[in-house]
Structure 1
Amino acid sequence: MSFKVRLEPSGNAFTVAQNEVILDAAIRHGLSLQYGCRNGVCGACKAKVVEGEIRYDNGLPAALNEAEDAVGQVLLCSAKAVTDLVIEAHEIGSGSEVPVRKMPARVVKLERLATDVMRLYLKLPDSERLQFLAGQYLDILLPDGRRRSFSMANPPHDDALIELHVRLIEGGEFTAHVFNRMQEKDILRIEGPYGSFTLQEDSQRPMIFIAGGTGLAPIKAIIEHALQEGVTRPMHIYWGVRAPADLYLADLPRAWAQHANIRYTPVLSEPRPEDNWPGRRGLVHDAVLQDFDDLFNYDVYASGPPAMVEAVRQGVILKGLASQHFFFDSFDFAEV
């Protein structure tokens, strides 16, 4: 059995299973409601039931008192539906609305995806969750006060672990630590989320995604979020790297491209003869400009090294794209 939930004032609706927590169902459907601990303690997910009935498995959560309960206040991270519901709740529309938080995170897995790319999985304390929008990034706080920024590669509905793609930078002290000395169970301090490189939910324009190297990370989060939401707008993904070995999750974008509305084009800038590369060659932004004569009706997302992002920006504007429809995440790597 499931129940229908309508959110006001947005009018967005979703279904929740009989024994499913309402917030979990909203996140599963790609909706961005405010939350914090997801354990009934902080009160960040407080909303109001306008119509219908809810229940709690273990009595009122700590962050809700009887007076609030009596007037229909509800903690979405703890409540379950008994009937169809109408709930008055604030939906987050941009990254600037998501609270920035500092918290510890434990390294639970290190997975080398390529010679110079490590996938890092972080787990927050059991009583914590980091709310974020797909495409945002966090800072790792180093003991000497320096920061290192990394985009989160996992979408919000899959937040049990935080996924980062760390590229080994020549002379980079922190990335060398990740590759050579970091171990599972190490504790890091993180702060976030930050950034406005997020899916434009209200747009109906077809989308072009352009990633350079580990610039795939935030685009991965956005694509997986869009698929979770059932977005059917056309999406064309370009991923530019040097050689086939640098396509470190090669099967993933090919799997996305099984959807009728998604196309995928990998572009290699320095393939060797022995690679026998049958696909596109050259710079990734040139491939995009060769494929599209007019970008006036598109949204373009670019993520990667600053020089690539700037080349994309200049090129797509010459092809008719309005600047307000160009969204970017520029990776400026620190060398110390």
Structure 2
Amino acid sequence: MPVFDSNVRRCEAVSEFVFLVELELPEPISFVPGQYLMVVMGEGDMRPFSIASTPAETDFVELHIGATADNPYAWEVIEKIKAEGELTINLPSGDAGYLAGSTRPLLLVAGGTGFSYTWSILQAHLASDNKRPITLFWGGRKASDLYMHEQLQKLAANDTRFQYVPVAEQAESESWPGIRGLLIPAVLENVQNLADYDVYIAGRFEMVRVARDAFSAQGLPKEQLFGDALAYI
């Protein structure tokens, strides 16, 4: 896997806790939508972040980094970006990427910045001529945590293959168009016949663990559930 220093061409706060980061590539890098890269912070200190862009963007990769001062794992990366304007990265990694050749519809399940993993898959799928339906459930604590909500609404309105289901534990507005509640119960209550889908999931490990067990109980074969967290739980 190539390792190189990458200039940061964008680092923008897109919500209270999320930064959208674009890193320049010196040359096109082959990867599968849904893979991740490693940020090299020091000898033996490599930190994984999902690649939110697709291989079609040949001159940069995009990351969505959820960072707060009390979470040094991600916050130190943002501090390094701001101080130095570059990162050393290693890519690609991961075995939970998009299976373009499958015949099953896709179900994307994202908690918080786990959305970056599903965003890469979603973009790649909709850019193709693949007719399979694709559904995204994206959950956050607050509606405002869904930092690309309006863009996803427009995307769903313009492509009949795509259904977007936002989920917020606390929705500030009475006109909230999504589901109020927890992400995994929302999926279970609104998706029939999980075994018909390829399911891609990303988010906190405890959420992925709950989903794995609940989806299995509903008949989803383990071979149809994809997510890098599954290797660690």
Mark yes or no: TM-score above 0.5. Answer: yes
The yes-or-no answer on 1:262 pairing with 2:195 is no
Is 2:74 aligned against 1:175?
Answer: yes
Q: What displacement does 1:252 show?
A: 2.4
Highest Rg: 1 or 2?
1
Distance in 1 (CA, whole Å) between partners of 2:230 and 2:85 is: 25
**Partner of 1:161 in structure 2?**
60
What is the deviation of 1:184?
8.1
Q: Is the 8 A contact 1:304 1:329 kept in 2?
A: no
TM-fit CA distance, 1:262: 1.1
| Per-residue CA distance 1:286-316 (angstroms, 9 max, x = gap) | 1111012422221111111111111111111
Q: In the superposition, relative to structure 1, how do residues 106 and 244 fare at CA in structure 2: closer, same or farther (>3 Å)?
A: same
- Secondary structure of 2:194's match? coil
Structure 1 position 198, deviation (Å) = 1.2
CA contact (8 A) 2:25 2:58 kept: no
Q: Is the 8 A contact 2:107 2:198 kept in 1?
A: yes
After superposition, the C-alpha distances for 1:183-213 in whole angstroms (9 at most, x for unaligned) are: 3862211111000121112211111110000
Amino acid paired to 2:63: L
Quote the residue 2:42 is aligned against.
143
Residue 242 of structure 1 is matched in structure 2 by 141
The letter of the residue matching 1:129 is P
Alignment check: 8 A CA contact 1:110 1:121 kept? yes
Partner of 2:18: 117
Structure 1 distance, partners of 2:155, 2:92, is 26
Contact residue 143 and residue 170 of structure 2 kept, 8 A: no
CA drift at 1:331:
9.6
The aligned runs of 1:193-232 (5 Å cut-off) are 193-232=92-131
The count of aligned residue pairs is 229
Decide whether aligned partners of structure 1 residues 301 and 170 sit closer, same or farther in structure 2, where only a CA change above 3 A counts. Answer: same
TM-score (norm 1): 0.64
1:315 counterpart residue number: 214
Q: How far apart are the structure 2 equivalents of 1:256 and 1:287?
A: 21
Q: Distance in 1 between matches of 2:81 and 2:197?
A: 42
Partner amino acid for 1:267? V
**Contact kept in structure 2, 1:239 and 1:284, CA below 8 Å:** yes
Aligned-pair Cα RMSD in Å: 2.0
Residue 170 of structure 1, CA deviation: 4.8
Counterpart Cα distance in 1 of 2:115 and 2:37: 16
The offset of 1:158, in angstroms, is 1.4
- Report whether the alignment pairs 1:271 with 2:158: no
Q: 1:181 to 1:292 in 2, by over 3 A?
A: closer
CA distance in 2, matches of 1:174, 1:116: 14
* Residue 152 (structure 1) aligned with residue 35 (structure 2): no
Once the two structures are TM-superposed, the CA of residue 182 in structure 1 deviates from its matched residue by 3.0
Higher relative contact order (CA 8 A, sep 6+): 2
Instruction: String of CA shifts for 1:2-60, please: whole Å, max 9, x gaps.
Output: xxxxxxxxxxxxxxxxxxxxxxxxxxxxxxxxxxxxxxxxxxxxxxxxxxxxxxxxxxx
1:36-55 → structure 2 map (5 Å cutoff): none
> Aligned residue for 1:15?
none
Q: Which residue is 1:189 aligned to?
A: 88
Bigger fraction of residues in helix:
2
* SS state at 1:257 partner: helix
- Give the share of equivalent positions with the same residue, in percent: 31
Do the aligned partners of 1:108 and 1:184 also contact (CA within 8 Å) in 2?
A: no
Secondary structure, aligned partner of 1:188:
strand
Q: What is the alpha-carbon distance in structure 1 between the residues aligned to residue 57 and residue 150 of structure 2?
A: 19
Distance 1:312-1:174 versus aligned 2 partners, 3 A rule: closer
Partner secondary structure for residue 312 of structure 1: helix
Q: Which amino acid aligns with 2:132?
A: R
Which amino acid is 2:164 matched to? Y
Q: Is the 8 A contact 2:80 2:87 kept in 1?
A: no
* 8 Å Cα contact 1:107-1:183 kept in structure 2: no
SS at structure 1 position matched to 2:210: helix
